[in-house]
Chains A and B, each alone.
Chain A
Amino acid sequence: EDKVVQSPLSLVVHEGDTVTLNCSYEVTNFRSLLWYKQEKKAPTFLFMLTSSGIEKKSGRLSSILDKKELFSILNITATQTGDSAVYLCAVPNTNAGKSTFGDGTTLTVKP
């Protein structure tokens, strides 16, 4: 059975801090790993990673994948209160036709 594990489950930081969120996975037929941000609504797409070692970057957010060690990290630098959200990691299983989601990391950024 496919498995996606995120850590930590929750994190509280102050504005300006840098955070690293982790996602490890065990899936068959791996092709990609996805990161989402969920505030009070539905998740919004952040990154799709397919290749090891290639960093994807969007503003203060960046992510990288390690296919050998089966994990990905999501970094957020100079955090702001608007970064407070649940960050979800998901791995599509192309055979099963659906994605396996981690339980998410709840990030709280205090002013």
Chain B
Amino acid sequence: GAVVSQHPSWVICKSGTSVKIECRSLDFQATTMFWYRQFPKQSLMLMATSNEGSKATYEQGVEKDKFLINHASLTLSTLTVTSAHPEDSSFYICSARDVAGETQYFGPGTRLLVL
């Protein structure tokens, strides 16, 4: 089956630093990748949709200058949380949609803790 990896799985950083999270589709090409965040016991919240080779589309209320997304290839998208603050601590999950465009496969997620 389709596999999506994320790296790192855990990150702890100091307030003010930037953190980069990578999302890779391992055995399929993903023209579209999605970035979500999820707080404990809450639903997935879509942050942005990223298409390979073009600018990401951000959801309302998500600061594009704070959450930088780059989708440089058909198998890699990155999310950079710039100048992270404690309120950015969350579970960040990426997903990739296969070429047929129907099914989204999720990465294992990255837990970010900003001290």
Q: Size band of the B side of the interface? A: 20 to 34
The answer to whether B43 touches A101 (Cβ under 8 A) is yes
Smallest beta-carbon distance B108→chain A, Å: 5
B57 at the interface (CB under 8 A from A): yes
Bitwise, A60-72 to B at CB < 8 A (1) or not (0) is 0000000000000
Q: Which residues of A contact B (CB under 8 A)?
A: 31-32, 34, 36, 41-45, 48, 50, 88, 90, 92, 94, 97-99, 101-104
Known: A101-B43, A103-B43, A104-B43. A94 touches B105 (CB 8 A): no
The answer to whether B44 touches A88 (Cβ under 8 A) is yes
Which residues of A sit under 8 angstroms from B104, Cβ to Cβ?
34, 45, 90, 92, 99
Interface residues in B44-68 (C-beta closer than 8 Å to A): 44, 46, 49, 51, 57
Separation of A26 and B9 alpha carbons in the complex (Å): 35
The answer to whether A98 touches B46 (Cβ under 8 A) is yes
